[in-house]
Amino acid sequence: MNNDTNENVDREGKSMKRTWFAIFVGTMLFAASVSTLAQDASCGSASNPCPLQKWMKDNLGSKLQDGKLDDVATGLDKVAAMTPDPSWTDWAKFAKDGAAAARKGGDDGTHGAKLACKSCHDKYKNDYKARFRTRAVP
């Protein structure tokens, strides 16, 4: 074989190695993304809460349970700005109503905040879970 033939064989061999390497890396990245999606899609349990579910529990549910209505009001102010779909206009209204109720304090404040949360959950929870379940909390 002459030098030109050897160089062509070397180039083809290196090209093949690069191609197989690219396929391998692509396959690994794809597998990792599928695994992450499967993991995220399985969120929703107490041991693996979805992002908003965890945020709500940490910032609203536990505060409401502890009677920390000022913290509930602050959390609901944040929720008002988290509307995931601009057409969900009642999302912000429910959150603002809940925050206003919590600021009143006492049993009426607790009841009003819970009622606002229930109204929002009744209207948006199923759609949120279907469309935005794994979305990070802003």
Tens digits of per-residue pLDDT, 44-81?
Answer: 999 999 999 999 999 999 999 999 999 999 999 999 99
Rg (CA), the chain: 26
With respect to residue 76, please indicate whether it lies within any of the assigned structural domains: yes
Q: Domain check: are 37 and 59 in the same one?
A: no
Q: What percent of the chain has pLDDT over 90?
A: 69
Give the range of the structural domain holding residue 67, as residue numbers without chain letter: 51-132
With respect to residue 137, please indicate whether it lies within any of the assigned structural domains: no
The Cα 76–Cα 135 span in angstroms is: 18
Q: Domain check: are 115 and 69 in the same one?
A: yes
pLDDT, residue 10, reads: 62
Q: How far apart are the first and last CA of the chain?
A: 64
pLDDT, residue 36, reads: 42
With respect to residue 138, please indicate whether it lies within any of the assigned structural domains: no
Q: Return mean pLDDT, the chain.
A: 84
With respect to residue 46, please indicate whether it lies within any of the assigned structural domains: no
Closest CA to 117 of 62, 71, 78, 76: 76
pLDDT, residue 81, reads: 96
Task: Please give the DSSP secondary-structure letter assigned to residue 83.
Answer: -
Check: CB of residue 40 under 8 Å from CB of residue 134: yes
| CB-CB neighbours of 33 under 10 Å | 10
- pLDDT < 50 positions in the chain: 31-39
Q: Which tokens is 124 given?
A: 């948006």
pTM, full prediction: 0.69
Q: Domain check: are 86 and 29 in the same one?
A: no
With respect to residue 127, please indicate whether it lies within any of the assigned structural domains: yes
With respect to residue 77, please indicate whether it lies within any of the assigned structural domains: yes
Based on the structure, what is the number of domains in the chain?
A: 2
Helices (H), 42-68: 51-56, 62-65
